[in-house]
């Protein structure tokens, strides 16, 4: 387990919910963290410290949206939403991926990025790596450059980082 001293308070606000959304899953509920202004601000600041020159932030549905939007607003950057199927009104790129508890897809508007965009990809949790890998694949379908991935919590026992290979990933907290 790795919890940097400046994030101990934020980590204390995360609630573990056993058997959600199905038996055998230990869900990391970030809603108490979001309700606490210090914890939320500390989490956003830590994730934003890994922008690495990005001019856009991409957030993965749905909890990744929260962190990505806060980073983008605070740093005056563009925001791109990577959504579940059927939620975007225009032409999309689509990638299917495996979750720790099933399968899903992510979509992104085909015109979400400009040629010279550099992107920080953000989600709340890195578990098996399927969702994050799908997000990176969506970005590589465009002319944008992925500069870094950032997650607030990494569940190391699920080996998601290994699945991402050489893709740079910052995890604020590793459990």
Residues marked as catalytic: 63, 100
Distance CA 34, CA 82 (A): 21
Residue 79 binned pLDDT confidence (cut-offs 50, 70, 90): very high
* Helix ranges, 75-147 (H): 130-140
Q: What is the pLDDT of residues 96-145, one digit of tens each?
A: 987 666 789 999 999 999 999 999 999 999 998 999 999 999 999 999 99
Q: What is the pLDDT of residues 49-70, one digit of tens each?
A: 999 999 999 999 999 999 999 9
In this prediction the pTM is: 0.95
Q: Which pLDDT score is estimated for 100? A: 61
Q: Which pLDDT score is estimated for 129? A: 93
CATH topology of domain 52-174: Rossmann fold (3.40.50)
Tell me the three state secondary structure of residue 13: coil
């Amino acid at each position: 387990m790795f919890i940097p001293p400046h994030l101990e308070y934020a980590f204390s606000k995360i609630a573990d919910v056993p058997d959600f959304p199905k038996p055998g899953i230990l869900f990391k509920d970030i809603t108490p963290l979001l309700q606490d202004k210090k914890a939320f601000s500390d989490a956003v600041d830590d994730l934003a410290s890994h922008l690495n020159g990005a001019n856009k932030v991409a957030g993965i549905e749905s909890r990744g949206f929260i962190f990505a939007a806060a980073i983008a607003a605070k740093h005056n950057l563009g925001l791109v939403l990577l959504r579940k199927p059927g939620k975007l009104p225009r032409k999309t790129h689509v990638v299917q991926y495996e979750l720790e508890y099933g399968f899903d897809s992510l979509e992104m508007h085909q015109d979400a990025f400009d040629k010279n965009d550099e992107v920080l990809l953000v989600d709340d949790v890195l578990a098996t790596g399927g969702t994050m890998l799908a997000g990176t694949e969506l970005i590589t379908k465009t002319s944008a450059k992925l500069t870094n991935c950032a997650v607030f919590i990494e569940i190391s026992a699920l080996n998601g980082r290994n699945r991402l290979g050489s893709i740079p990933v910052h995890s604020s907290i590793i459990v």
